Amino acid sequence: MAEENAAGCDRPAGGPVGEESGETSTKQATTEEMEVQTMIKVGQKAPDFTAPGYFKGDFTSVKLSDYLGKWILLCFYPGDFTFV
Amino acid sequence: MSIDSQFTHKMWNDHELSKMVDGGIPYPMLSDAGGKIGTVYGVYDEAAGVETRGRFIIDPDGIVQGFEVLTPPVGRNINESFRQIQAFQLVREKGGSEATPSGWRPGKATLKPGVDLVGNVWKEWQTKQAFD
């Protein structure tokens, strides 16, 4: 689940994890994405990732696969303070 | 999840969202600086540098059961997301022996797919059930 993250001056970053997210393949995958915007498919595994976050007063780090066994609603949105 | 940092998430939650939701946002607000995760999910708008309004339902096995993507000005219908999750939960509980027709919500009739149902859905389900 979410593990606590110390609040430092560095800005933590997350990203995809797993077979297809190795350092060498990242650049190539990004280039391909620029050419053809790919959408993930229903019925297939959700790409795993880790991401820093904020949860109930603490900075946390969340890994999607830590939530296996639960139903997940993963929502993306354009930005904080953007009204809708 | 958005491209905002966890610091911005804290400010938004503490200074605005907590005024709308008692106790603040009850789930983790995640940061995808650079849009790497959004890119993998197909919702990162590279030209604008932000994520579009993508919503993914992921089951307990980590399988994507559904998604919806909207452009920024239109908000989601969270009740519809819950309804879809309830439908997927029912299907999962029944091991696929039941399916939820258009307009289904908890308490409404399901369909039991099988040889006998072929060509006979009209006896089991009426179009108006999609709307009520």
| Local confidence band at A22 (pLDDT 50, 70, 90 cut-offs) | very low
Residues B39 and B82 in one domain: no
Chain B residue with Cα closest to A9: B7
Q: How do strand A58-63 and strand A3-5 relate by DSSP bridges?
A: antiparallel
Task: Give which of A72, A80, A83 to mutate to test B binding, by max B Cβ within 10 Å.
Answer: A80
- Statement: residue A81 has pLDDT above 60: yes
By CB atoms closer than 10 A (0-12, 13-18, 19+), residue B122 is exposed
How far apart are alpha carbons B132 and B120 in whole angstroms?
21
Chain B neighbors of A54, CB-CB under 8 A:
6, 9-10, 13, 28-29, 31
Q: Which residues contact A27 (CB under 8 A, 6 or more apart)?
A: none
> How far off is chain B from A42, nearest CA to CA, in Å?
5
Q: At B100, which CATH number?
A: 3.40.30.10
Query: For the CA atoms of chain A, what is the radius of gyration?
Result: 15
| Local confidence band at A46 (pLDDT 50, 70, 90 cut-offs) | very high
Residues B37 and B74 in one domain: no
Question: What pTM does this model have?
Answer: 0.87
Cβ of B53 and A78 within 8 Å? yes
Chain B neighbors of A47, CB-CB under 8 A:
37, 40-41
Backbone angles phi, psi at A79, to 5 degrees: 175, 155
Residues B34 and B88 in one domain: no
Chain A residue with Cα closest to B78: A73
Cβ of B53 and A76 within 8 Å? yes
Interval B71-100: pLDDT, tens: 999 999 999 999 999 999 999 999 999 999
Residues B73 and B106 in one domain: yes
Element (H or E) spanning A29, and its range?
Answer: helix A23-35
Q: With an 8 Å Cβ cutoff, is A41 touching chain B? A: yes
Count the neighbouring beta carbons within 10 Å of the beta carbon of residue B75: 11
Chain B neighbors of A65, CB-CB under 8 A:
62
Q: How many residues does chain B have?
A: 132
Q: How many domains does chain B have?
A: 2
Q: With an 8 Å Cβ cutoff, is A1 touching chain B? A: no
Average pLDDT rounded to a whole number, residues B49-75: 97
Q: Which domain holds residue B73?
A: 54-132
Q: With an 8 Å Cβ cutoff, is A42 touching chain B? A: yes
Residue of B128 and A29 predicted with greater confidence: B128
Residues B119 and B70 in one domain: yes
Residues B41 and B100 in one domain: no
Option in B4, B32, B75 nearest A14 (CB) = B32
